[in-house]
Structure 1
């Protein structure tokens, strides 16, 4: 009987301890927004070779659609925007180790990222497409059978290829490089026959270098761009969402989109 009493007391103590831990976690304050305000800056991690979302211009200044939007959001929060170029395939690690405060650079929403991060509301729609040289004679995805395709490593273009196995298996070779600039250089010099990339990026280059490239009609996947924050940093995420919604109502998001891609691709309501 005494033995049973001791066991019951032990179980009760463990239950109280677990309840206390749960309550402590539940009551833990989310200071993410205040932390940003206290330090006076929002550190944005990006691939700085990803036009028109974020890239270096001729004066080596980082510019682009995401940069214009982020600057305005940071201004409304009352902090400076700090731009930090990162290796795109290490973006999650850069965020987790607090080297950056957010991933904001054509960052695609998917289930895996939703489970690991706090994501903003989607702010732009996009698709994955193949871009080829205008005089290549390639007009459809089927024309790429037995040919070489290049894309950016650790990108949604890579994910799109994995989702289109029949097309992927029809290729002679699939090459992965560090960024889209390198991918397009390979295409120009004959190192590949096509580049798979974000339509927003492809349309930018088609417009910038008229007569050089064309985009094939068939898309490989559809997606939405979001901003990635650390898991649990809901206060900062919601503050950014608020400003994105305000900017959409004011017509400012549409204006910035038209500036960089020629039309309004934003989807914030």
Structure 2
């Protein structure tokens, strides 16, 4: 019996350490929001020359989660599986130029819209293509399972296009456009505006846009408490001017919706 007592005390101490560590781990997890992003979606969320994840949505998310008293982790994901990542619990939010659509509303909860956007057609600056009808018989690229795909599928011109080539991200699509493998690319206006500032002589945008749209933040269905806290943080940022400051940093003006 005397031999058993020290052994029992050791086991009890080990159990206490393990449960204590587990408790701290769960507590840290509860305080951290994991945000799913496309890390090639400039200027919303992308990697800079030092491979650091930066962008408007990155700064916007950091500021909002700080107001919520949370830490944040940005998790690059395959954008085509974003809703599956959210519903599985591997991420807490979809936040990276995520367009609000009726179809997506069936899968996730959305915050109020925070930024306006549009799907536009871009081609090379010296191209003879200038309007949607000019895409007849042409090869067009876009990001797979994106709102660009939705916009093109809903447009009458889709039936006249020779081939629609899908890419995992916009960078690849624009690369193929510059190399001549594509005639045009359907892309977010916010994104191509950023690249046109960097490569002023490379691209031009059709005057006709395919579809106006708005960005929102996706929350897992049933997590209304998180949605409410997040929306309050965003509303507070509009009131105190911090959202406007982040917008001016990335766009040169305040584009955030009130």
Partner of 2:30: 39
1:220 aligns with 2:220: no
Q: Normalising by structure 2, report the TM-score.
A: 0.87
Secondary structure of the structure 1 residue equivalent to 2:106: helix
Q: Could you tell me whether the CA contact under 8 Å between 1:130 and 1:194 is conserved in 2?
A: yes
Q: Could you tell me whether the CA contact under 8 Å between 1:203 and 1:215 is conserved in 2?
A: no
1:64 aligns with 2:55: yes
2: distance between equivalents of 1:253 and 1:210? 28
1:97 aligns with 2:83: no
- Deviation of 1:247 (Å): 1.0
Tell me: CA distance 1:36–1:98, structure 2 relative to 1, closer, same or farther (3 Å). Answer: farther
Superposed, 1:46-125 pairs within 5 Å as: 46-125=37-116
Partner of 1:230: 220
Secondary structure of the structure 1 residue equivalent to 2:212: strand
1: distance between equivalents of 2:106 and 2:180? 40
Partner of 1:209: 199
Secondary structure of the structure 2 residue equivalent to 1:266: coil
What value does the CA root-mean-square deviation take over the aligned residues? Answer: 1.5
Partner of 1:171: 161
Tell me: CA distance 1:217–1:95, structure 2 relative to 1, closer, same or farther (3 Å). Answer: same
- Deviation of 1:140 (Å): 1.5
Partner of 2:234: 244
Q: Could you tell me whether the CA contact under 8 Å between 1:37 and 1:78 is conserved in 2?
A: no
Secondary structure of the structure 2 residue equivalent to 1:78: coil
Unaligned runs of 5+ in 2: 1-25
Moved more, 242-251 or 118-127: 242-251
- Deviation of 1:55 (Å): 0.4
Tell me: CA distance 1:55–1:96, structure 2 relative to 1, closer, same or farther (3 Å). Answer: same
- Deviation of 1:266 (Å): 1.6
1:145 aligns with 2:136: yes
Unaligned runs of 5+ in 1: 1-34
- Deviation of 1:50 (Å): 0.4
Equivalences, count: 233
1: distance between equivalents of 2:217 and 2:118? 17
Deviations 1:163-198 (A, max 9, x none): 10x211121211111100000000010010111011
1: distance between equivalents of 2:252 and 2:123? 21
Deviations 1:53-76 (A, max 9, x none): 100010000100100000001111
- Deviation of 1:36 (Å): 8.4
Q: Normalising by structure 1, report the TM-score.
A: 0.83
2: distance between equivalents of 1:76 and 1:199? 30
1:189 aligns with 2:173: no
Q: Could you tell me whether the CA contact under 8 Å between 2:83 and 2:108 is conserved in 1?
A: no
Partner of 1:25: none
